[in-house]
Structure 1
């Protein structure tokens, strides 16, 4: 295990305390949290892994990452945020699974959503990261989307996943920058600079 810079550790402690004080719906929905953003920016400036997507960091970036903060929400949470609270629709978890090897990085973005009467459902987008020469920027494209009832009607079993492939001509690429990486947390930025903070869960 890498011994961390005391300044980084102190900033991370402050960061996690502030994030954990927020309800999940507030932390990953589009809502300004300038204090959290400022701490993340300080951490980015002393990033111990300047080339997070390089081959030597495959083991570090691979794994299951739970989204614990998004400065302007995500594609899914921004849509849910427009739905009235009385509908009872609730996002329970947003996470990302990354697998890095010599051929590149495959990614699976998932969200678990609770729907009134219908139970818990999982939405998944699978794709690949094409890494640029700076080893921190990637072009992300998704080749399949999946839908699965993980607790249909709140019953304790799963239904088979429905997977929908995306033909190559219809795939769009998005820019993704990994601006901070260590053994515990990861920070990503989208094209517009939105911040995404992940915590490693395995």
Structure 2
């Protein structure tokens, strides 16, 4: 147990150093992060909380988490990267997730991103949804019921802000995706999507 704790500490230190060396922009856009992925796999092999959705472990899962690395980018950054000569001029200032208990077998999830857009200023995007699960205490089904957008500093004006525009997703249009929490401790969380995308979060 002591050996695992020491190994986890060393691996997490190396992981965070490599992520920091990339810089937030590169860490959240699709890139070759093979070395980081290998470190994460080693961490997953000594996961201290293998059943994060068990009621006893939910307090360790819930709260505010900053996304620090995405192996294949995020929904937002993949779209940005696909725009020729435009992605390089968009600055990702922050991406974070808030998880709140939503009743038995449910977690309310809010995914947010703060972007600095050329000429348009600072904008915040948010997707609100829910995690549900059954017997599995590692994999959840995720669906989103609304999306919102807000200009927090339009045109770079510090004293301006626009009201939030919220767009609900009709129930028959909601898609479910599988989400596995493959590593969890008090500081670091790793999530994997069904397509193999790897996400590393750090507790705020």
* Candidates 113, 138, 141, aligned match of 2:140: 138
- TM-score calculated relative to the size of structure 1: 0.93
Q: Secondary structure of the residue that 1:123 maps to in structure 2?
A: strand
Aligned to 2:199: 196
**Counterpart of 2:56 in 1: which secondary structure?**
helix
User: Cα deviations across residues 144-202 of structure 1 (Å, max 9, x unaligned)?
Assistant: 0001111111122432111111111110000000000111010000001211000010x
- The counterpart of 2:128, out of the listed 122, 126, 129, is 126
- Give the conservation status (yes or no) of the 8 Å contact 1:187–1:195: yes
Contact 1:124 1:146 (8 Å CA) reproduced: yes
Cα contact 1:61–1:100 (8 A) shared by 2: no
TM-score, length of structure 2 as denominator length: 0.92
Write the distance in 1 (CA, Å) between the matches of 2:101 and 2:10. 29
Q: Displacement, 1:57? A: 1.6
Query: How far did residue 58 of structure 1 move?
Result: 2.0
Structure 1 residue 32: Cα displacement: 1.2
Aligned residues: 198
4+ runs deviating over 4 angstroms: none
String of CA shifts for 1:87-120, please: whole Å, max 9, x gaps.
Answer: 7222211111111253310001111111112110
Distance 2:8 2:47 in 1: 8
Residue segments in structure 1 that go unaligned for 5+ positions in a row: none
CA distance in 2, matches of 1:178, 1:163: 28
Contact 2:126 2:148 in 1 (8 A): yes
Structure 2: distance between partners of 1:146 and 1:31: 27
CA contact (8 A) 2:109 2:130 kept: yes
2:80, 2:86 within 8 Å by CA — same for their partners in 1? no
Gap change, CA 1:168 and 1:86, over 3 Å in 2:
closer
Give RMSD over aligned pairs.
1.4
Q: Greater shift after overlay, 87-96 or 14-23?
A: 87-96
| Whole-angstrom distance in 2 between the partners of 1:111 and 1:83 | 18
User: Take 1:137 and 1:43, find their aligned partners in 2: how far apart are those partners?
Assistant: 18
